[in-house]
Structure 1
Amino acid sequence: MACKLCRDNAANGTYIVAMNRIKPFLAALILLVAALAPGASSAQQRAVPPDAQTLRYSFAPLVKEAAPAVVNIFTRKVVQQRMSPLFNDPFFRRFFGDSFGAPRERVQNSLGSGVIVRPDGLILTNHHVIDGADEIRVVLSDRREFPAKLVYDEERTDLAVLKVEANGEALPHLELGDSDRVEVGDLVLAIGNPFGVGQTVTSGIVSAVARTQVGITDYSFFIQTDAAINPGNSGGALITLDGRLVGVNTAIYSRNNAGSVGIGFAVPSNMVRTVILAAETGSAARPWIGAGGQSVTADLASALGLPRPVGVLIGEVYPGGPADRAGLRQGDVVTHVNGIELQDAQALRYRIATQPMGGTAELTVLRKGRETKLTFDLQPPPETPPRDETVLEGTHPFAGARVANLNPAYAEELGLDGFATGVIVSGVARGSPAERLSLRAGDIVLQVNGRKIGLVRELQQALSGRAQQWQLSIRRGDRVLETTVQG
């Protein structure tokens, strides 16, 4: 993995405008379909466009309106480049000196794309475009350059928000569309800066929606398109024929890091909207259902007597959480959120996370073969128990480690299961006993000398005395590591 046709929306006039743009295209399309229809005559197959207007069909009017809101992003960062490890040898240092072979600074440049989403200069791009950058510059389509400030960065969605100051000038921008209304087969345009050649527009169709088996971000839910997307397009715009932003181009499927093979992925605009809100409010919290389960497979559907494999089989319900209060039970199958069908468990998480906080959402649930509707509150995950983040000190193997209590809110931030509990390592001081133990951020402490650890204070108590040896049990990812350290 490397880095709609318009709808009837007469209320804001977009339907009429877009239809005027694509009438010539529809005329040409009707001719083509007629020409390829079974039994079409030879004369029909060779029919020419009926008028000059059809011949001049173009996306140009749409591009002229949308392209100025898509920018090029150039980043610069200084990285440490170490010379050959041979220079660590005392023999070499004797002849070349201690300074020879020391790390040297190297400037690393990269490029990408971005989309202006507010006239005051608020810009959306990908996290991986600006990750670690010391300097960010934005170049508009008219070649003006601005220094950009990083306002908000979220690795789990691979989105970042930048801000440029244009001395009070209202910059061209794109309005967000509703990505839930995008359908397979809708025409789309991708605008970006592939390979640094300059602003480029490509066209295609929506190949798929709700792609969840991509594995790019924590919220794996993407619009797939066959519009040509290449390195440098990251952070660029995916727009529909009404000129609205429905996705931020993020990744392509490519063999051997080659160019586009017609499989590109974009973060849906409804997720983009939540990231903009997080940047404006300073809060990354998103609604939490307080339930977990597994995707309904063909085997599960057969066992449950379902006509086809769809939805999520609930295996856990957090006590006192939103789902519990709404009446969701273990063994229920959730098939829809607000009337939108769920293909798998990842889709359930995405649908909840993109709902507005403080409102309600409706679940369609199958329970013992009967369909029922449940309404639950859209609330953030709880901070229970409190995190109690602590740096451990003393004469024990964990000295120098920063630890905290896991709770649903913290687990969601880290991209972990919202039901995860225990004490998690959030950082390790350099040169500390914890670093020598090879402790890592993300490790979860399970036991110390046979004593189960559930809270930070329990870990502190277990480490408070002296011991001739420490028997430790630590979970790292899907593995449980057991080790003994001499006291």
Structure 2
Amino acid sequence: MDAPVNKGNSGGPSFNVRGEVIGVNTVIYSPSGGSVGVAFDVPAETVSLVVRQLRDKGYVSRGWVGVYLQEITPGIADAMNLKSTRGALVAQLDEGPAAKQGVEPGDVITLVNDHELKNPRDFARTVAAITPGTVINLRLLRNTREMSIGVMVGEAPRAPEVSREKQPEPRERTELGLTTAPARLVSGAGDTGVVILEIRPGSGAPDGRLQVGDIILAIGGQPVVASADIDRMVNEARAQSRRTILVRIKRSGAMNFVAVPVT
């Protein structure tokens, strides 16, 4: 929600007209550095849950199933033959409850129990509020086929983020206007996929949000081992008159899917 709050008043409670606390103010909306009279707050029910857990256990316990999700853009929906951008795309999995029950990268989660998901944030809020040990039903799409998987919610662990620098060495040019090299030949990039070293200006790749340093792991569900694999898969997509391809990448240790135009 949003509420008018004067600069310097962040952190206090928000009340409704009956004097009931409905939230706790956090930060102001400030596009220019000054106050425009709008602030954001944490809903009262969320604050109540956090306070209760801190009193009872000394820490906050949140539901967790071990999935890393991303938004479904129109381009990704087109590449995956989806009818809608609603739901959450599984980009990566930890060794957690979801992976153990068969959830896979590329799955699109559409419902948690009877709750229809709008986006990844909706999934995160829904699962975080579920008590660890509860079994939930995930409805998902896999290659446009509907299926359901039961998952027992775990307790969210604390894990450090991983970041690494990539030093380019050998170079090959590809159909997408990329200069790439096998990851195993690039310092610090690991053993899987190919690393983007350069993106030619004017190519279609920037429109697909690929970046220098990304590691391309797969295209259309097929693993990419060498730069030649990119050309082969791009040409196959063009032969099938496809407008976009779905590229799975690794960026700063996290997996994501990117829709890249091929026309």
Q: What range describes the TM-score normalised by the shorter chain of this pair?
A: 0.5 to 0.7
- Secondary structure of 2:63 counterpart: coil
Distance in 1, matches of 2:20 and 2:97, equals 34
Matched, 1:332 2:133: no
SS in 1 for 2:78: helix
Query: For 2:131 and 2:14, how far apart are their aligned partners in 1?
Result: 23
> How far is 1:323 from its partner?
0.6
- What is the DSSP-based 3-state SS (H/G/I as helix, E as strand, rest coil) of the residue aligned with 1:299? helix
Identity over aligned pairs, percent: 30
After TM superposition, list the pairs within 5 Å mapping 1:350-365 onto structure 2: 350-365=125-140
SS in 1 for 2:68: strand
Cα 1:478–1:451 shift into 2, 3 Å: closer
Find the counterpart in structure 1 of residue 158 from structure 2. Answer: 410
- Correspondence for 2:4: 228
Q: Could you list the per-position Cα deviations for residues 108-162 of structure 1 after superposition, in whole angstroms to 9, with x for gaps in the alignment?
A: xxxxxxxxxxxxxxxxxxxxxxxxxxxxxxxxxxxxxxxxxxxxxxxxxxxxxxx
- Given that residues 270 and 354 in structure 1 are in contact (C-alpha distance below 8 angstroms), is that contact kept between their aligned partners in structure 2? no
Residue by residue, what CA displacement relative to the aligned partner does 1:192-236 show, whole Å, maximum 9, x if unpaired?
xxxxxxxxxxxxxxxxxxxxxxxxxxxxxxx3x2x3212243223
1:1-35: CA deviations, max 9, x gaps?
xxxxxxxxxxxxxxxxxxxxxxxxxxxxxxxxxxx
SS of the equivalent of 1:279 reads helix
How far did 1:284 drift? 3.0
**Contact conserved, 1:295 with 1:343, CA < 8 A, in 2?**
no
Distance 1:276 1:335, change over 3 A: same
TM, length-normalised to structure 2:
0.53
* 1:275-334 superposed Cα distances (whole Å, 9 cap, x missing partner): 213311113342221121321111011122222212221122223x21123332222101
Instruction: Give 5+ residue unaligned stretches, structure 1.
Output: 1-222, 382-408, 423-449, 453-476, 480-487
Per the alignment, residue 312 of structure 1 pairs with: 88
After superposition, give the CA deviation of every residue in 1:182-201 in whole Å (9 maximum; x if it has no partner). xxxxxxxxxxxxxxxxxxxx
Distance in structure 2 (CA, Å) of the matches to 1:235 and 1:339: 35
Aligned residue number for residue 290 of structure 1: 66
TM-score, normalization: structure 1? Answer: 0.31
Superposed CA deviations along residues 353-399 of structure 1, whole A, max 9, x for unmatched, are 22223323332312232333333222114xxxxxxxxxxxxxxxxxx
Superposed CA deviations along residues 436-471 of structure 1, whole A, max 9, x for unmatched, are: xxxxxxxxxxxxxx999xxxxxxxxxxxxxxxxxxx
Matched ranges for 1:414-425 at <5 A: 416=161
Deviates more, 1:338-347 or 1:369-378: 338-347
Q: CA 1:237–1:451 in 2, change beyond 3 Å: closer, same or farther?
A: closer
Conserved 8 A contact 2:69-2:88: yes
Shift of the alpha carbon at 1:239?
Answer: 4.4
**How many residues align structurally?**
169
List gaps (5 residues or longer) in structure 2.
Answer: 165-186, 190-250, 254-263
Q: Secondary structure at the match of 2:65?
A: coil
Which of 4, 11, 14 matches 1:238? 14
Look up the SS of the partner of 1:316 in the other structure: strand
What residue is the counterpart of 2:213 in the other structure?
A: none
Q: Distance in 1 between matches of 2:98 and 2:115?
A: 18
Q: Does residue 42 of structure 2 align to residue 267 of structure 1?
A: yes
Structure with higher RCO (Cα < 8 A, 6+ apart): 2
Query: Which one has the largest radius of gyration?
Result: 1
Over the aligned positions, Cα root-mean-square deviation in angstroms equals 3.3
What does residue 303 of structure 1 align with?
Answer: 79
User: Is this contact kept in 1: 2:10–2:28, CA < 8 A?
Assistant: no
> Shift of residue 344 of structure 1?
3.2
Q: CA deviation at 1:240?
A: 5.0
